[in-house]
Chains A and B, each alone.
Chain A
């Protein structure tokens, strides 16, 4: 089973709202990732967690706040977003970050619209 699940599928929020995206995997993977994908563009890496610790932050604005409460769950807390933050947010997981022969498996994404 190589399933990564994400909720919600769609989210519409105002610029003053606070919301959270959720990602879950039960493959025993110890690395989890958040990506942002704009229409007709490739996924862009935002954050990487390794063994529940934040290991990579690709200079993402502080209005995006990741959290990894346990090895199966990854959250992305959103606050005071801008309309240009509207995108598909993808979660991925892999066995262990930074080793050879590691493969990332992607979830279906959350389509976020900021009004």
Chain B
């Protein structure tokens, strides 16, 4: 069985603060890891993805994530958040069997 756990359900930050959202996964095989963002009233958009190679991946809008295999983690980071980053963030695991599992999501509120 596979699972994804996001530790922070709701994060509130002021503009310019640094962000780190936690994501841990459980799966015994090869994993593809993703972060998706869902802005209010909009559809899921791909932020970044990790398949293999360099464990530090960069995505859109200044986001990056680090894959740490020994910790089964794929945490999302941004050095300085903006009000426009207010959204729901989902970590997801896709396996070669075609199954996909999403974490429960983290609601990020950035105060101007």
Shortest A10–chain B CB gap in Å is 12
CB pair B43–A42 under 8 Å, yes or no, is no
Complex CA gap A107/B36 in Å reads 13
Number of interface residues of B (CB under 8 A): 25
CB pair A41–B105 under 8 Å, yes or no, is yes
Residues of B within 8 A of A48 (CB): 98
Residues of A within 8 A of B99 (CB): 45, 56
Shortest A59–chain B CB gap in Å is 13
**Contact flags B15-47 to A (C-beta < 8 A → 1, else 0):** 000000000000000101010100000111110
Q: Determine if B14 is an interface residue (Cβ-Cβ < 8 Å).
A: no
Residues of B within 8 A of A56 (CB): 98-99
A33-B100 contact in complex given A100-B52, A106-B44, C-beta closer than 8 Å: yes
CB pair B44–A43 under 8 Å, yes or no, is yes
CB pair A103–B97 under 8 Å, yes or no, is no
Interface size class of A (residues with CB under 8 A): 20 to 34
Q: Determine if B96 is an interface residue (Cβ-Cβ < 8 Å).
A: yes
A107-B43 contact in complex given A45-B99, A100-B96, C-beta closer than 8 Å: yes
CB pair A108–B42 under 8 Å, yes or no, is yes
- What residues make up the interface of B, taking CB atoms closer than 8 Å to A? 30, 32, 34, 36, 42-46, 49, 51-52, 90, 94, 96-105, 107
Instruction: Report, nearest first, the 8 A-B pairs whose CB atoms are least far apart.
Output: A42-B102, A108-B43, A106-B44, A97-B98, A98-B98, A101-B51, A98-B96, A45-B100
